[in-house]
Structure 1
Amino acid sequence: MGQVTSSVSVVTTLTDGVPHGTTVSAFMSLSMDPPMLTFALDRGSNLLARLGVGSVVGVNVLAAHHDQIALRFAGKGDDKFADVPWRVENGAPALHDRHAWVALRISRLVEAGDHVLLIGDVTGADATPSAPLTYWKRTFGTHQTF
């Protein structure tokens, strides 16, 4: 799958007021009516252990200059949010200066091999004119027009 370019996002949630998040590249639009999105988490994901039907999550689509944030949230540990500006929007941690933002309420979890697909109903969204961070052949980059 390294030949397929994907966007890079950080999925976030709050547990007892504490922010949690992880980097994902398996994220996509699922339905326009009603608006729904899906993303995949590894079965061993610390974030997955905190989520269930009804959970509120934020999908922070990263801007092109956020490669270090993508790497930070891809790792393990409890201090991922240290020195990363964020605020709560629609009930979930929203990173400042992101490319786009989508708030979701999880409606279904679907087991799929070594991952779980989380399906969420869109409860809020916004976007900026910044360029997105992309991932291709295990390398970060961005989109350029012809």
Structure 2
Amino acid sequence: MLTQLQNDFRDVMAGVATPVSVVTAFHDGSPHGTTVSAFTSLSMDPPMVLVSLDKTSRLLGLIRKSRRFGVNVLGAAQAETARSFAKKLEMGEKFAGVDWRRDNELPRLAGVPGWLACTVSQEVEGGDHIVLFGRVVSASTATAAPLTYHSRTFGTHSLLAQSA
């Protein structure tokens, strides 16, 4: 049962729009991945990002072994992909029927507007999560509206109306 502070914190964070990504890794030649919304840029020199994974995440254990992970930044048309990778399935099952390919020896989902291949440079404990600092070794982008998570639902970014 959550405390009142935890409920209030959850409500505040629901009001923060976040990008939605699928973090991926290989284990024994099989692709694995999970949906995350705790992902952001960290540094330009060198290029780095951070992702946050639950301490009990099976994917975290695989990344700790390989010291590598991919970040598939999802587009607005990929909400179902986000839902699918967020499910508590056996890790390999999440890729059933999913179009993907190997890129920099990491699983890359087809059609993502943003892709980063990373090596783990540092881990930081943060409550019930581990924050991974990833040094970017490869990056590519395509034009597409981003998938965001806000008010406990998926959406996308839209421009503000210009004032006259």
Output the TM-score relative to the length of structure 1: 0.97
2:28 matches 1:32: no
Q: 1 or 2, which has the higher strand percentage?
A: 1
SS of 1:65's partner is: helix
Report what 2:30 is aligned to. Answer: 18
Report the structure, 1 or 2, having the larger helix content.
2
- List gaps (5 residues or longer) in structure 1: none
Q: Equivalents in 1 of 2:152, 2:135: separation in Å?
A: 30
1:45 alignment partner in structure 2: 57
Q: Which amino acid aligns with 1:19?
A: P
What are the ranges of 5 or more consecutive residues in structure 2 without an aligned counterpart?
Answer: 1-12
**Could you tell me how far 1:48 is from its partner in structure 2?**
0.7
The letter of the residue matching 1:116 is: I
Q: Which SS does the other structure have where 1:143 is aligned?
A: coil
Q: Which residue does the alignment assign to 1:81?
A: 95
Cα deviations by residue, 1:40-76 (Å, 9 ceiling, x for unpaired)? 0011111112122762211000010111110111111
- Which of these residues, 117, 140, 143, is aligned with residue 157 of structure 2? 143
Relative contact order (C-alpha < 8 Å, sep 6+): which is higher? 1
Partner of residue 103, structure 1: 117
Q: C-alpha root-mean-square deviation of aligned residues, in Å?
A: 1.0
Distance 1:133 1:63 in 2: 5
Report the 3-state secondary structure (helix = DSSP H, G, I; strand = E; otherwise coil) of the residue aligned with 1:52. helix
Equivalent residue, structure 2, for 1:5: 17
- Tell me the distance in 2 between the aligned counterparts of 1:110 and 1:52: 12
Q: Return the alpha-carbon distance in structure 2 between the equivalents of residues 8 and 106 of structure 1.
A: 20
SS at structure 2 position matched to 1:39 = strand
Runs of 4+ more than 3 Å apart: none
- Residue in structure 1 matching 2:71, options 40, 56, 59: 59
The whole-number CA distance in structure 2 between the counterparts of 1:10 and 1:54 is 17
Query: Which residue number corresponds to residue 146 of structure 2?
Result: 132
Q: How many matched pairs? A: 146
Identity value in percent: 50
